[in-house]
């Protein structure tokens, strides 16, 4: 995985950390408009061609953080499920918010329907990548986000989705009910999500007994509905 780290304190170490898992093919620029609270740093992880953490992360001021808020978007929910149980450096006091995602990214009932996931992987081109992005944004913000959504090359996105698919199929076991490795506090769902169907996400999180918040005007990219990370946290209240 790649990462970016944004420090938000000129007066010594921050006391809070936001750990953000990006969606597939994305970069941290998708949330760059969200303002950080005082005394709060932001660590963003992306590019799931490998789930190995950079050795450089050991140099972050982990001992100063009293709490960590984990926000995972889209395929980032699955990535968080793979990474967090083994990440001993993280503070034990944490909040976990899933945004338009699922621990089961390829699943007919709890995630992206399998045929659509495989079709996206097998048919990914520059042209239909743009169609995917328009569906993700609901069309309304596609022009504003075009440069951000185009930052990474299509071949790289294909390799990333292939790596996720390979990981899923290597460990996939038939399940009659879903389970999660993490204690999620909230799942946020866009009513008009054209990537992860809202009905699938609602079914999943209800089965996992995780509170949900359905945003009636939301598509798959939901971060345009907020101006700050604090606004997103307020969904927990």
Residue 212: which CATH number?
Answer: 3.40.50.1820
Confidence tier at 9 by pLDDT (50, 70, 90): low
Q: Is 87 left (phi over 0), alpha (psi -120 to 50) or beta?
A: beta
Six token digits for residue 35: 């303002």
Average pLDDT over residues 79-91: 92
pLDDT at 172: 67
Average pLDDT over residues 142-159: 81
pLDDT at 148: 76
Torsion sign over Cα 62, 65, 67, 73: negative
Q: State what percent of residues in the chain have pLDDT above 70.
A: 95
How far is it, in rounded angstroms, from Cα 104 to Cα 34? 27
- 28-32, 49-53, 91-95: the lowest-pLDDT one: 91-95
Beta bridge partners of 2: 46
Q: Is 7 left (phi over 0), alpha (psi -120 to 50) or beta?
A: beta
Torsion sign over Cα 162, 54, 224, 192: positive
Domain limits for position 222 = 2-236
Question: Helices 154-171 and 126-137: crossing angle, nearest 10°?
Answer: 70
pLDDT at 143: 67
Highest-scoring range by mean pLDDT, 103-117, 119-133, 144-158, 166-180: 103-117
Name the average pLDDT for the chain.
91
Is the pTM above the cut of 0.85? yes
Q: What's the first-to-final CA gap in the chain, in angstroms?
A: 32
pLDDT at 36: 94
How far is it, in rounded angstroms, from Cα 110 to Cα 116? 13
How far is it, in rounded angstroms, from Cα 79 to Cα 135? 22
- pLDDT value at 215 more than 90: yes
- pLDDT value at 1 more than 90: yes
Average pLDDT over residues 119-135: 86
Count CB neighbours of 51 within 10 A.
Answer: 16
Average pLDDT over residues 191-217: 97
Number of domain units in the chain: 1
């Amino acid at each position: 995985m790649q990462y970016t780290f944004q420090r938000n304190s000129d007066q010594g170490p921050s006391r809070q950390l936001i750990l953000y898992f990006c969606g597939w093919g994305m970069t941290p620029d998708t949330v760059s408009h969200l303002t950080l609270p005082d005394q709060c740093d932001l660590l963003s992880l992306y590019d799931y061609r490998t789930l190995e953490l950079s050795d450089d992360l050991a140099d972050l001021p982990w001992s100063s953080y009293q709490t960590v808020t984990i926000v995972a978007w889209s395929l980032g929910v699955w990535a968080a499920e793979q990474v967090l149980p083994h990440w001993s450096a993280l503070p034990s006091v944490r909040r976990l918010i899933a945004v338009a995602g699922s621990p089961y990214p390829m699943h007919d009932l709890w995630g992206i329907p399998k045929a659509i996931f495989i079709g996206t992987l097998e048919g990914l081109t520059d042209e239909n990548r743009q169609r995917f992005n328009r569906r993700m944004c609901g069309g309304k913000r596609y022009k504003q986000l075009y440069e951000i959504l185009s930052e990474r090359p299509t071949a790289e996105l294909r390799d990333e989705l292939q790596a996720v698919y390979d990981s899923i199929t290597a460990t996939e076991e038939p399940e009659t009910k879903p389970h999660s490795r993490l204690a999620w506090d909230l799942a946020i769902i866009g009513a008009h999500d054209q990537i992860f169907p809202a009905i699938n996400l609602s079914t999943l999180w209800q089965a996992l007994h995780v509170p949900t918040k359905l945003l009636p005007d939301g598509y798959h990219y939901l971060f345009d509905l907020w101006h700050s990370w604090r606004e997103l946290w307020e969904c927990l209240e």
